[in-house]
Structure 1
Amino acid sequence: MFTVFRWMLRLLTGLIALTLLALVILYYFLSRSIPDYSEAFDIGGISAPVEIVRNNDNVPHIFGATDQDVFFALGFAHAQDRLWQMTMLRRTAQGRLSEVFGERTLKIDELLRRYDLYTLALQSAEVQDDATTQALEAYARGVNAWIAQVNKDARGRGAPEFFLFSNEIAAWQPADSIAILKLMALQLSGQIETEVLRARVSLVLPETRLRDILPDVPGQGIMALPDYASIVPGAPGGMAPLQHASTDPLSPFPSRELAGASNSWAAAPSRSAAGGTLLANDPHLGFTAPTVWYLARLELSTGGVIGGTIPGIPAVLLGRSENLGWGLTSSYLDDQDLFIEEVNPENPEQYRTPDGWKDFITRRSIITVKDAAPVTITLRWTDNGPVLPGSHYDLASVTPPGHVVSLAWTALTGADTSMTAAIRTMQAGSVTEAMEAGRLFVAPAQNVMLADQRGIALQLVGAMPARDPAHQSQGRMPSPGWIATNRWQGILPYEKNPREANPISGLLGNTNNKTVDRPFPEHVSFDWGDTQRIQRWLTLMKAREVHTRESFIEAQLDTVSFTARSLLPLIGADLWFTGEAAPEGTPERLRQRALEILAAWNGEMSEHLPEPLIYQAWVRALQERLIRDEMGPLADAFSHIQPVFLERVFRNVDGAGVWCDVVQSAAVESCTDLARIALDEALLGLVETYGPNPESWRWGDAHQATHDHPVLGNIPLLRYFVNIRQSTSGDDHTLLRGKTKGEGPDPFLNVHGAGYRGVYDFADPDSSVFISSTGQSGHPLSRFYDDLGELWRRGEYVPMSLDPALARAAAVGVTVLTPAD
């Protein structure tokens, strides 16, 4: 027996030793791709020595003799830290993910091939100005220089992920950067889903109820629409289940409610305590590890510039220079229209136009699929745009037999000069110059908040479609493509883009709220991203005569929900402090305890409090009960709280209180009845998940930020090393926005928010600060993978200085690039 035990002990010891040895070997090979930031390189492609000084937060400060050398070094630094992320963005835009991931991503590739973004990027590369062309080419040389170093010195294939997916890394091209910018445009637009949803809902609900669940933002210029059936007879419609957007983390197609959001505000010198302009900006995107943002400083011939870049793009897209600050928010411009195209029953290769039948423009495209046979698809284009398959965006539900759907979108052009606009904005020296640079911007359409030493401005940049005033659906629903008045009439002049400069109030702000009140067709949009956060912003701005950097930071981090403050008194009006005392352990007593807790709450969505969790669960259950019986499976499209709808119902605006009656029951339920039932239901679910004591519940336990690795994040065990999860405050409607997932077993997870925050103070520019939500490195073994994430979670920032001495003082390394002989 002793001998057996001894041999088992030896075997176990051997296995442990082998495992440790394997881990050491694995760590050695994986860590080879962590860059040495103090290394020197003799390298071709530059004219003189270049320094990449990485400060204590691993933010590269790049100094070179020429702008081209600086852009080269930015490409080199991006590739050092984010090579895997860059190649994935490029593959996504090219529709080539399936070469790596097999059939999992085939549907994604198919749709991206139909958009043909990469072909359009290749064409757009030919129309940039000379300075931008040189920047793109120099940047590409820098990326390729690092790839060459990886191949030459066996630097762990450049990133750990490349050991699992061994496809070769193609050389970087200028068009790759433009394609990524177009991909960002795709990620920031949800108009397709909005059109389809409005069409489907119009087939189920009468016009009065349609205005409840898909309300127009208050203001003039909104005209009533016909129902979809009168525009496009024969659409399937009905209450068929929704085809959701892909939930694959590799998918660039956001759901309608995650298609872009942001905050930005600015103060003129008259409203600044220190007498200089102020600007704050926090753009919102889906969370990933690493974040899409990469902090960098470039020393150009026009001066230093520092802020947020996107790996793959040679520009500081938001940030500041010595004299100018600029920030971005989603404009919600309606830059996409769906068209129902009638196919010739005698010839399926033709479609109907205002002038008769016309041939589709067709091209075949082969998608290479890992471990499977290649898939060949036929791409078809009409005058309006590419034909999209009915299997995507739920298009089949609104497409009559014998018809297909095409898409008009401003980004679908081979003459896209948005990259030139981005480079010129970065090099602008004043608000006026930056506004003029925006003239060349095509897509994605953005609100640009600007501040220089003297003034502030807000400018919408991006191509605005020119629609006919007689358009049948005003671009709000799919419309017949063969009717001339439905088709686009070109692009509106840039002067029609909304702008506001140096207002009398001295303050400008945008939270994706409605910015203009102009009648169709110069309306910008019917669908806006916010009706709530703007109210809290107005309250904070009006509370002070003058503002400081600290007050702008306070506003960025504000977690008080105007929505909670306005909705709870409505839905609980007849429940507060009513009813007989109930014994402990009964649903009635639990309800009374929850109401007592909420009655003393100020609406702060703090991660440490139980009130936000009770409020969110209650209102979510209430909305579900209100709409499910009328809308059936279509209710799935409304997975987040709709504040304007709930307010209309509980104020009985235009008879909206009828939603409270359960159609399937004989009794006539009141809104109070439904509010009480929904609260009991919500509390039951919370007790099952978090225990019986409401005082011990924490919003942050449910509202964790999900900075997940899009490829490795679902692999057992490995996900604990690559995913970054953090307890967070805020919710869908707070200025510190943390958009909830809205579906699945964890509907309150924080999946979409500010991956970048910056506050710029031109009274003392070097006191400006910024932060990103994870870290600079995309390497999970690097200490810079998540080091900024904890600061971000706590609401802290790092300095945003253009002082070279400060960058060098605590540098983690200085990379020197020297021209090779």
Structure 2
Amino acid sequence: MVKLWLKRIVLGLLALLLLAVLGLWFFLRGSLAQLDGKITAAGLSGSVTVARDDHGIPSITGSHRNDVAYATGFVHAQDRFFQMDLLRRMPAGELSELFGEKALETDRIHRLHRFRARAQQAIQAMPADERKLLERYTAGVNDGLNALGSRPFEYGLVGLRPRAWALEDSFLVAWAMYIDLQVTGIGRELARGWLKEHASQEQLAFLLPETSQWDAPLDAASPAAPDAPIPARAPDWWGKEIAKEPATLASAAFVDGVGSNNWAVAGKRSRNGGAIVSDDMHLGIKLPSTWYRVLLQVPSAHGGTRRIVGVSIPGVPAVVAGSNGHVAWGFTNSYGDYIDLVEVGEVKDRPGQVKLPGGWEKPVTHEETILVKGQAAVSMKVRETSLGPIMQSGGRDYAVHWVAHDPKAVNLALRHMEDVDSVKDALALAPKVGMPAQNLVVGDSNGDIGWTISGPLPQRPATPADASYPLSANGSTRGWQGLLPAAAYPSVRNPADGQLVTANSRQLLGAEAAKLGDGGFDLGARAKQARDGLAALGEKTDEQGVYSVMLDDRALFISPWRDRALAVLDAEALQGKPQRAELARLLKDNWNGRASVDSVAYRASRAFMWSLYELLYGGANVELAKLNKDANMRAASSRWPVVLGRLLDEQPAGWLPHAYASWKALQLAALDRTIEHLAKDGKPLASATWGVRNTAAIAHPIAGAVPMLKKWLSVPPDQLPGDSNMPRVAGPAFGQSERMTVTPGREEQGLFNMPGGQSGHPLSPFFLAGHSDWVAGKATPLLPGTATHTLTFVK
């Protein structure tokens, strides 16, 4: 009997386990998107069809733009609602409601800006036609969410139900991009402020060059190397001893987070006569991808039907980058100076008041409540001045005067790129668009090309103070005031060489450069390599040629650091040092001039440069980390490799740290640190390839919270060629979030790929569709393929 009962218990447990597995399976299947059928939807003016190809890319066709917005919202929600939820919660400071106390510090940082309140105010000021379109999109989102058979699977894992989409949530998605693309300017200003207080004017001029030989501005040739003299002595913090165990080179990870390329070739250099536009926006990469591919067929403002193809961002009813048949466009982050930190003064005899450059004022206090999963809500007070909310850092108070706080920071004007017919029209629209200030590169079917800034720019005085440092409460300048008028925006059209290139570096050297300022421009090596690579395509090229420049992984920037390493690894340095000898051999024999996955030489040369950075700047970085997570010397100036290169070439005695007998000894110490890093845990140096370090670690956000599901919520561990200071940008979880090349009017020949698929659901066949093409750099068609599924909405 005992055995019989044991058998029954085991069978019962197995049956319960099977039921649990089946229940989980049906729950997961229930949150897959509906691909076929007919849906009756209230509020439609006519029918709308969503035809998907075998990659899940939708072609949405309707006779009214608002109906197409509704269907766009529906498919966004069904494929990506959890992603949309994170995009609205992050800038609003509402992640703790989903993830508990571990997200609380992030929420506190973002709640300072009160973006949800700003979004609600912006909605009230919307033009009636744009509000109606957003209302229809929002209705589509909520209908798409509610039409799922079960809530998106992520909510089952966090134990909550999704909250309905609201109009202001779409604006919060745009503010999420402000945080992603501009908020590091706070750390930059704090770093530069600290440096200004711990260095002489002569030392600052040398340490913070405004340009370098790597720059590739649009309005001039590359500038000469910086010529500020090297001062006789270094600042006191220079080369201070730092911990050398373990040698992780953590600082090097920062450059995995800088990037975006776009360029255009004019019709006179195109074999088809139209302009060719190429765009690859670099972002942190997760699953699902940032972008959602879409083709819209909508009524044209000029009559007839217009086809718009490109990428949207879930949460917003517009194509962000793409082509409308007449004009193609793409973006890169402009890295202008869009944030001022203004020190705030207070005295005991003026209680409740603060001192700013404009005088004394009483801040408005807002009580913010943060909901925290599993515990009581947390309250925080936000004090807001006429120049922005007050933050604390290093025992000081600063007003954050940021363009993102302006009422015009966000709107839906980007959707009107659908209707522009020429480069002239696109450049005129750009200043009216509410989005983080971006380099807009456009080309039209007539062969014209152009550049300007899309998004609000701050208007600074005719003779501006250096706003790249915090401003004093007792000074006379309040920093930027109001927004730059559209007529004053800088632009470049149809340059003589028939090409335009931007890649986050300095765009302008002339008089109009001051309109942008320097908010942390990239070094410029990537832009210069892309510019020269595009020029090398010759007098005539095509989409394939222009696309190929995105895959350029030549190590032109790192090559001189290899040369420096080999120069000090002479016979004397190798005597009795077998690991140095092995490193020297690998630097000579393993070098192919590229950031390829099998290159130890590339990884070692790069690590050598970063080892020197840590040995010389590390002491300062320890102090800067106390001010802000984004405050460090590389944020203070991306041109630090140029500074180090000059020091190694000229070897001034006053800049050699006391711990080293010579500049050669310093470089050998950096190489030993590099060896320690590459040979960690006893691994042979020959196994420390670039691919081992540059292995894709792209995963769904839930994968970190539920490790057992990581295998199903991650991409394969692909080894990726490419790096930051070259066109083919690639890091473990950062890189080319999409690659697009297209001539407007010739979209059939357009090229595209991106790291993930259309769906955020791991059981969907579209979850990783196209990923292997992205890894390989294989160009695939921009337009969707033959429809395999059709969903129809009727009124």
- C-alpha contact 1:469 1:521 (8 A) present in aligned 2: no
Report if aligned partners of 2:241, 2:615 keep a CA contact under 8 Å in 1.
Answer: no
**AA paired with 2:737?**
G
Amino acid at match of 1:673: A
2:526 to 526, 530, 533: 533
Aligned to 1:467: 460
How many angstroms does 1:634 deviate by?
Answer: 4.4
With over 3 angstroms needed to count, the CA separation of the structure-2 counterparts of 1:357 and 1:647, relative to structure 1, is closer
How many correspondences in the alignment?
753
1:178 partnered with 2:168: no
Matches within 5 A, 1:669-684: 669-670=662-663, 672-684=664-676
| Letter aligned with residue 553 of structure 1 | Y
Question: Cα gap change, 1:386/1:580 in structure 2, threshold over 3 Å: closer, same or farther?
Answer: closer
Matched, 1:383 2:386: yes
- Secondary structure in structure 2 of the residue aligned to 1:731: coil
CA 1:482 to 1:211, structure 2 compared with 1: closer, same or farther past 3 Å?
Answer: closer
Q: Provide the secondary structure at the position in 2 that maps to 1:487.
A: coil
Match of 1:815 in 2: 791
Distance 1:7 1:616 in 2: 67
How far is 1:543 from its partner? Answer: 1.7
Show the 5 A alignment for 1:70-219.
70-150=68-148, 155-157=149-151, 159-189=152-182, 190-218=184-212
Q: Report if aligned partners of 1:443, 1:463 keep a CA contact under 8 Å in 2.
A: yes
Q: Deviations over 1:661-719 (max 9, x none)?
A: 233x3x5321x22222322332233233583251x443212101222222333432222
* Equivalent residues in 2 for 1:128-527, closer than 5 Å: 128-150=126-148, 155-157=149-151, 159-189=152-182, 190-218=184-212, 261-302=259-300, 303-354=306-357, 356-388=359-391, 390=392, 395-396=393-394, 399=396, 404-416=397-409, 418-454=410-446, 455-468=448-461, 471-472=464-465, 474-481=466-473, 483-518=475-510, 521-525=514-518, 527=520
Is 1:615 matched with 2:605?
yes
Taking a change above 3 Å as real, the CA distance of residues 414 and 685 of structure 1, as seen in their structure-2 partners, is closer
Q: Return the offset for 1:645.
A: 2.7
Equivalent residue in structure 1 for 2:711, among 696, 716, 720:
720
**Residue 325 of structure 1: how far off its partner (Å):** 0.3
Residue identity matched to 1:753? G
Match of 1:40 in 2: 38
TM-score normalised according to structure 2 size: 0.87
**How far apart are the structure 1 equivalents of 2:490 and 2:649?**
32
Question: 1:350 & 1:183 partners in 2: Cα distance?
Answer: 31
- CA distances 1:267-291 after superposition (whole Å, capped 9, x unpaired): 0111113332111000111111111
Inter-partner Cα distance in structure 2 for 1:563 and 1:493: 38
Distance 1:38 1:656, change over 3 A: farther
**Which position in structure 2 is the counterpart of 1:565?**
559
The residue identity in structure 2 corresponding to 1:603 is G
SS of the residue corresponding to residue 599 of structure 2 reads coil
Q: Secondary structure at the match of 2:701?
A: coil
* In the alignment, structure 1 residue 794 sits paired with structure 2 residue 770: no
Could you report, residue by residue, the CA deviation over 1:16-47 in whole angstroms, capped at 9, with x for unpaired residues?
66544422321111111012301321221212
Sort the Cα spacing of 1:50 and 1:629 in 2 relative to 1 into closer, same or farther, 3 A. closer
Q: Deviations over 1:749-771 (max 9, x none)?
A: x2321111101034733110222
Q: Of 693, 701, 718, which residue of structure 2 is paired with 1:702?
A: 693
Paired letter, 1:771: N
Shift of 1:353: 4.0
- Cα distance between partner residues in 2 of 1:424 and 1:590: 59
The answer on 1:549 being equivalent to 2:543 is yes
How far the C-alpha of 1:354 sits from its partner, in A, is: 5.0
Q: Is the Cα–Cα contact under 8 Å of residues 60 and 296 in structure 2 kept in the other structure?
A: yes
Alignment match, 1:250: none
Q: Aligned partners of 1:353 and 1:118: how far apart in 2?
A: 26
Other structure's SS at 2:173 match = helix
SS in 2 for 1:133: helix
User: For structure 1, which segment, 633-642 or 521-530, has the greater mean C-alpha deviation from structure 2 after superposition?
Assistant: 633-642
Q: Which moved more, 1:309-318 or 1:37-46?
A: 37-46
* Separation of aligned partners in 1, 2:575 and 2:191: 44
Change beyond 3 A, Cα 1:571–1:4: farther
1:758 maps to which residue?
740
Where does structure 1 lack aligned partners over 5 or more consecutive residues? Answer: 225-237, 242-254, 740-749
Which of 558, 580, 584 is the equivalent residue of 1:592? 584
Give the match's secondary structure for 1:405.
strand
Distance 1:643 1:356 in 2: 35
**Counterpart code for 1:268:** A
Q: Secondary structure at the match of 1:562?
A: coil
Structure 1 residue 379: Cα displacement:
1.7
Q: TM-score, normalised by structure 1?
A: 0.85
CA distance in 1, matches of 2:638, 2:522: 12
Report SS of the residue matched to 2:612: helix
In structure 2, the CA distance between the partners of 1:296 and 1:509, relative to structure 1 (3 Å rule), is: same
Paired residue secondary structure (1:508) = strand
**Partner letter of residue 568 of structure 1?**
R
Distance 1:5 1:603 in 2: 71
Aligned residue for 1:188, secondary structure, equals helix
TM-superposed deviation, 1:139: 0.5
Deviations 1:383-411 (A, max 9, x none): 111112x2xxxx226x2xxxx21111112
- Aligned amino acid, residue 609 of structure 1: S
Partner of 1:280, secondary structure, is strand
- Measured at CA, do residues 213 and 258 of structure 1 come closer, stay the same or move farther in structure 2, by a change above 3 Å? farther
1:102 Cα deviation after fit:
1.9
Q: Does structure 2 retain, via aligned residues, the 8 Å contact 1:651–1:657? A: no
Q: CA RMSD in A?
A: 3.3
Deviation at 1:774, TM superposition (A): 0.8
Report if the CA contact (8 A) 1:297-1:307 is conserved.
yes
